[in-house]
Amino acid sequence: MPENLFISSPCFRNLFPLQYACVGPCGSAHAHALTAFPAYWPVWGDGAGRAPNTNGGWRISNRFIVWEPLWTEGAGERGPSGFALSCFSLLSCSVFMTTSQRLSQAEFRRVPVKAQARVRVCVRLRPGVGNGQGQSAPCVRGVDSHSLEILNWRNEMETMKYRFDAFYGEKATQNDIYVGSVQPVLSHLLEGQNASILAYGPTGAGKTHTMLGSPDQPGMIPRALRDLLQMTRNASGDEWKYSISMSYLEIYQEKVLDLLQPSLRDLPIREDHNHHILVPGLTQKEIKSFSDFESLFLPASANRTVASTQLNKRSSRSHTVLLVWVSQTQGWPPYARRAAKLCLIDLAGSEDNRRTGNRGLRLKESGAINTSLFVLSKVVDALNQGLPRVPYRDSKLTRLLQDSLGGTAHSVIIANIAPDKRYYFDTLTSLNFAAKSKQVVNKPFTQETLPDQVTKRPHADSSDSDPEAKKPCLEEERRTKLPEKPLSSLIPLENLEPAVAQRLLRLEALEKEHARTGSHGLPLLNTPRKERQGLVKQLEETKLKLKALEEKQLEMEARAHSKAREPALRVPVRPRKKAVVLPLQKVQTPEKTQEEDAVAIIQQKKRGRKKKVSTSSCENETPTEWEVALRPDLLARGKENILALLNTGSEKDLTALHRIGKKKARLIVAWRDRHGLFEKVEDFKNQGVSTKQAASFIQANILSSLGNIKPLN
């Protein structure tokens, strides 16, 4: 019978989201759901959501078709009927996955196939603590080395069964867990591949005990370090030289603190253009021996933030992460370098504050812990559902774990649970998290660089290829398609190019300065990549628009400039018409107005060309070559006016005429007194001037004598 059938009751569906109802049973090769199944469903279904099989039924949800068998305690495991099994065998060629997962698989075929490594999940049940008095009855018990069962809270006559990669019961020792689940992944570090060991579970369930342990029961961390040092020592030879270094940090209330150097608080988490997650400024120390490790690790562990709660006397108030770097350098050309990272993570436990009795600071810490664990759960959901956005950035913890879940590491989750009934719902939540984490698939590869910093294509890891792994990580795939550079997580500053490290630190300082001055400018580095790209694009567009506007402005200015110069050269200025108000009697006279007179045309014959000129320009010209052509009536009237002035004007009036100065005016008056009045204007030549001069005099005064024109000087 399928080994994973575990759902005991229909009530179970109320405890689990639909899509996880089959996570446990379907996480392995027994993937039973059929995406194409709806077409066939009416044949087997009874219309009420159950197959014609009393032991279980196919259930259809929005996304999945799930085989949901019944299984009750005491009744033994009952698998589906022969009918259902035959249906299953007919349909088992389909793989349990969502449409998007199918699509991603199709895309995946277009790129070189890389090995996948499903996240390994094991569960450790700690022994009941206390002397038995006041100790509540256990609600969970192991079934075999892979399975456990927990009471159904709705019906205590039923239990729910979970199956994992490994189950360690109350009697399991630290060594059992280490040898069974942790040690196997260490060998990947020597191949240049990342690994992560993560302890998860409710507060007081034994995470710290598992990871750190005690002097007489050392946990996973000291055991892993001891072995790793030994392994690198053994492997070091002519071909590869190994070195190990470590960093140790905690995430306390969404702040990254350096446990090796406690003065460094609130370190930033960054991602470089190769998607490496960095913690600039994090201390990294080389360790050559286990005593080196102890001398660093033990005092640093004392820096962890712990406090007493009602559920745990020494409760971790932070997530702690020990980073161990395994670097290797090739002993001969091309002198390749490999860098692998081991993350050993002791998460803070989820806390139900009705039971922890937390107040004040403890409550605040608890809020931060629960929030980050909730984001962790969302990350796993997003990975399982193949969502385009995995919310790694929603908490510092998930940002750091980006590599461990859906990333490039060989990951092991140790879910710690407690047997006590008072932990029941915490245990259930942890088991659900563990069950859904089983579906997450990572894509480990060897990170190798050549001395010229050219990163080689990652090598597929065939040794760990998992035939059961069904779901490639979408985000990871996208990355592997683009650059040839591998993913990694935390890279300490020391390992970076000095220029890059300096730049990061400068940006960091700049951002801090922004925060200090309360500037509302855009955050430089915390902006998510997509938004940042959008902003950069917007900025580029704005720059282009600005440039276009500037060019237009310059063009318009140039045009305006040339226009300002043009009129003097080309466009003749037309004299503005003056509004002239004449006295009534003048209007009544038949004389033409000044305006009419001003339209007199003076033709200048010069080099055979005719030109219209204004009267004023005529005045200033030498009249020698001029021929004045006026309407005869105007000419006659002009002459009359000049004659009248010559005969009646005083000396002063005469000087108003052109070419008549004081001396000439005096002569005219004297001539008049002596000879009487001028008979015609041409008699002006009697004043001792030549005929030409007399004509010139007339010509000069004829226009001004018409109407109310003042003579021009």
Ligand X SMILES: Nc1ncnc2c1ncn2[C@@H]1O[C@H](COP(=O)(O)OP(=O)(O)OP(=O)(O)O)[C@@H](O)[C@H]1O
Our finding on whether 208 is near ligand X (CB under 6 A) is: yes
Q: CB-wise, 204 or 222, nearer to ligand X? A: 204
Q: Which is nearer to ligand X, 213 or 281 (CB)?
A: 213
By CB under 6 A, what part of segment 485-524 binds ligand X? none
Q: Which is nearer to ligand X, 22 or 434 (CB)?
A: 434
By three-state DSSP, how is residue 420 classified? strand
Closest CA to 373 of 356, 389, 397: 397
Interface with ligand X, residue 209, by CB under 6 A: yes
Site map 81..120 versus ligand X, x via CB under 6 A: ----------------------------------------
How far CA 150 is from CA of 88, 125, 419, 426, in Å, comes to 27, 12, 9, 12
Tell me: does residue 205 bind ligand X (CB under 6 A). yes
Tokens representing 378 are: 């969302």
Closest CA to 510 of 252, 207, 268, 181: 268
Q: Vertex 166, ends 164 and 171: CA angle to 5°? A: 125
Measured in whole angstroms, the distance separating CA 471 from the mean position of its chain's CA atoms is 26
Residue owning tokens 């006026």:
630
> Residue 481: in which H helix or E strand, if any?
helix 474-481
Q: DSSP readout, 657-687? A: STT--HHHHHHHHHHHHHH---SSGGGGGGG
Using CB under 6 A, which of 126, 319, 410, 664 touches ligand X? Answer: 126
Least separation in angstroms between CB 509 and ligand X = 35
The smaller minimum CB distance to ligand X, of residues 170 and 596, is found at 170
Q: Is the peptide bond before 268 cis (omega within 30 degrees of 0)?
A: no
Q: Quick one: which of 437, 416, 432 has its CA closest to 125?
A: 416
Show contacts with ligand X in window 309-368 (CB under 6 A): 312, 314-316, 348-349
How many residues are listed for the chain in this entry? 713
* CA distances, 694 to each of 315, 322, 665, 673, 681 (Å): 127, 119, 14, 20, 9
User: How far is 223 from 220, CA to CA, in rounded Å?
Assistant: 5
Q: Which is nearer to ligand X, 408 or 416 (CB)?
A: 416
**Cα(481)–Cα(458) distance, rounded to whole angstroms?**
12
Query: What is the closest distance, in whole angstroms, from the C-beta atom of residue 352 to ligand X in the complex?
Result: 12
Work out which of 203, 427, 447, 488 binds ligand X, going by CB under 6 A.
203
- The reply to whether 480 sits near ligand X by the rule CB under 6 A is no
CB of residue 318 vs ligand X: minimum separation in angstroms? 9
d(CA 13, CA 32): 17
Give the range of 108-116, 159-167, 178-186, 203-211 binding ligand X by CB under 6 A.
203-211
Binding segment for ligand X (CB under 6 A), chosen from 153-161, 205-213, 400-408, 555-563, is: 205-213
List the x/- string, 405-444, binding to ligand X by CB under 6 A: -----------x----------------------------
Size of residue set near ligand X by CB under 6 A:
18
Binding positions for ligand X, 257-316, rule CB under 6 A: 312, 314-316
Candidate residues 59, 207, 338, 443; the one interacting with ligand X per rule CB under 6 A: 207
CB of 136 to ligand X, least distance (A): 15
Distance CA 412, CA 179 (A): 13
Q: Which lies closer to ligand X via its Cβ, residue 177 or residue 277?
A: 177
Give the residue among 91, 314, 84, 124 at the shortest CA–CA distance from 219.
124
What region, left, alpha or beta, does residue 514 occupy, with left being phi > 0 and alpha being psi -120 to 50 degrees? alpha
Spell out the alpha helix ranges (H) of 519-625: 529-569, 584-588, 594-598, 615-620
The one among 25, 204, 492, 707 contacting ligand X by CB under 6 A? 204
Residue number, 127 or 572, with CB nearest to ligand X: 127
> Please, which residue, 129 or 536, has the CB nearer to ligand X?
129
Closer Cβ to ligand X, 179 or 549, answer by number: 179
Nearer to ligand X, 349 or 406 (CB): 349
69 lines the binding site for ligand X (CB under 6 A): no
Of the candidate residues 69, 79, 192, 201, the single one contacting ligand X (CB under 6 A):
201
Query: Which spans of this chain sit near ligand X (rule: CB under 6 A)?
Result: 126-127, 129, 201, 203-209, 312, 314-316, 348-349, 416
